[in-house]
Amino acid sequence: MKHIKITAFAFIAIFLASCGSNGTTENDPAGQLETYRKQQTELNEKIDALQKQMAADGNGQNVAKIPVVVSVLEATTFHHFFDASGAVVAVQEAMISPELNGQIKEINVKEGDHVAKGQLLVRLNTEVTEKTIEEVKTQLELAVDVYNRQKRLWEQKVGSEMQYLQASNNKSSLESRLATLQAQLDMAVIKAPFDGVVEKVNQKKGEIASPGMAIIHLVNLNRMYVRADVSEKYLASVHKGDTVVLTLPSYPDFRQKVLISRTGNVVNKNNRTFEVEITVDNKNQMLKPNMIAVVNINDFSAPNSVVVPSKVIREDIKGKYLYAAVNENGSLVARKKYVVPGQTYLEQTLITSGLAVGEQIIVEGYNRVSDGSQLNQMQ
């Protein structure tokens, strides 16, 4: 390259020396500019000719070879993944409220307690209901006695049918009322609907509880799932039973392979997504409801493919290309190879055409070479 530069400088010196005798005067700037352009073109042509001659006649051995690192292409499987953001949801979570109005008599749990299904949580004041039940029971005893007497008389054809029917109806009415009061008494006792942890106690003893007003927030941390929204463009690529990778921003080291348990059947018209659900084993209780989760889903795989580092792909007006290292007459030479890239993932790009298995591509030093550059392969 030094010889080429010296030759170029010599031509430029000759050009400058001849500027005063080329018939063009300083009074004709346009003519001077045209003369300079012609001489510059001639110099560039002579430089290119010298470069080709040196590469062909063996003088190229004196040209500095560019150090590069090459990689031999092998057939591999290309995988493409995409991430979908979601949230952790508890399978069993309840905001527990009473079924009737009443004053809270006792709260038998506190926040953080683990409870079992059926365990007593809250009891409402039931004094009025209990007294009413005692009154109805007394009335029912009398009604049963009257009914039995009327029944015996009716069987003996004594008395009227109306008296018998009234006694029967009074007995049945009191039995129904007693059952209703007993149900109200039962509703005043709130029990855990499933095993779980008391997350929140919203009211205190002595306050009035009402239907729809949550007293206890109960959650089961052992059974969780992740619900994520996936763009509808992946409808054909995501299926129930596919293996995905679940990660949690809150736990950078958490990475778990899980199966898709359900895919939604409706596309949300507002954001053009469909739901994907993933059941997660949470025995160590790391996952908490409403945590952010990221689902890494494989939507494309191509076996026996040619894959190159994305960084080596460049572009000019003709298209995308990279540099291959080719043996020519015993020397390693850089050659421009135009390629058709496919999908890219993690700085690796699938090449759909333009390269074949076994070819060598330049993966380091590619920024310093051009088509035809002499190469020095580094280990």
Mean pLDDT on 314-322: 93
DSSP assignment letter at 64: P
Q: Is the pLDDT of residue 294 over 80?
A: yes
Q: What is the percent of the chain with per-residue pLDDT over 70, rounded to a whole number?
A: 88
Q: 16 pLDDT band (50/70/90 cuts)?
A: very low
CA dist 350 and 315 (Å) reads 16
- Taking only the tens place, the pLDDT of each residue in 109-145 is 999 999 999 999 999 988 887 788 888 888 888 888 8
DSSP assignment letter at 253: E
CATH 2.40.30.170 fits domain 82-92+220-300:
yes
Q: What is the percent of the chain with per-residue pLDDT over 90, rounded to a whole number?
A: 55
Give me the pLDDT at residue 49, please: 63
Give me the pLDDT at residue 13, please: 47
Q: What is the pTM of this model?
A: 0.61
Determine contact, residues 106/203, Cβ cutoff 8 Å. Answer: no
Question: What's the fold here for domain 61-77+303-377?
Answer: 2.40.420
Mean pLDDT on 224-231: 94
Mean pLDDT on 193-206: 93
- Average model confidence (pLDDT) for the chain? 85
Smallest CA-to-CA distance from 342 within 299, 310, 366 is with 310
DSSP assignment letter at 118: T
Beta 196-201 vs 216-219: how paired, if at all? Answer: antiparallel
Higher pLDDT, 22 or 207: 207
- What angle is formed at CA 173 by the lines to CA 137 and CA 164, rounded to 5 degrees? 105
* Backbone torsions φ then ψ of 249, nearest 5 degrees: -55, -30
Mean pLDDT on 343-368: 94
Give me the pLDDT at residue 19, please: 47
- Extents of the domains making up the chain: 2-56, 61-77+303-377, 82-92+220-300, 97-218
Give me the pLDDT at residue 51, please: 57
Spell 279-302 as b/e; 16+ CB within 10 A means b: ebebeeebbeeebebebebbbeeb
Among 50-59, 125-134, 242-251, the least confident range: 50-59
Sequence letter at residue 265: N
Smallest CA-to-CA distance from 199 within 271, 133, 121, 140 is with 121
Smallest CA-to-CA distance from 299 within 84, 108, 148, 98 is with 84
Q: Is the pLDDT of residue 369 over 80?
A: yes
Give me the pLDDT at residue 347, please: 93
Q: 28 pLDDT band (50/70/90 cuts)?
A: confident
Mention every residue, 6+ apart, whose C-beta is less than 8 A from residue 104: 122, 123, 124, 125, 203, 204, 205, 206, 207, 208, 209, 215
Q: 181 pLDDT band (50/70/90 cuts)?
A: confident
Q: 55 pLDDT band (50/70/90 cuts)?
A: low
Give me the pLDDT at residue 44, please: 66
Domain spanning 97-218, CATH class:
mainly beta
Give me the pLDDT at residue 22, please: 45
Mention every residue, 6+ apart, whose C-beta is less than 8 A from residue 101: 208, 209, 210, 211
